[in-house]
Amino acid sequence: MKIVFNSTMLNSAEYDQTEKTLTVEFSNGDEYKYKDVPEEIFNEFQSAQSAGKFFLTKIKNKFEYEKV
């Protein structure tokens, strides 16, 4: 499942249900993969009023990650 954002911070996010990973592409082109992300978090991310704010409060520093 992939979502595209209209955000100054984020371009897109893609969730892999099998692996429970969330790959986030930032506006500068960098991509990071976050591990063990519950599907509920992705669903909330999709409907958040501000994708950037949601990322900063609910994802950043909450899950193990690696640069892709």
Q: Kindly give the confidence (pLDDT) of every residue in the chain, 68 residues in length, as a single tens digit, with 9 standing for 90 and above.
A: 999 999 999 999 999 999 999 999 999 999 999 999 999 999 999 999 999 999 999 999 999 999 99
Q: How many domains does the chain have?
A: 1
Please give the pLDDT value at position 37: 98
Predicted TM-score (pTM) of the model is 0.94
Looking up tokens 């899950």 gives 63
Please give the pLDDT value at position 48: 94
Q: By residue range, what is the domain housing residue 16?
A: 2-67
**DSSP state for residue 5 in the 8-state scheme:** -
Please give the pLDDT value at position 52: 95
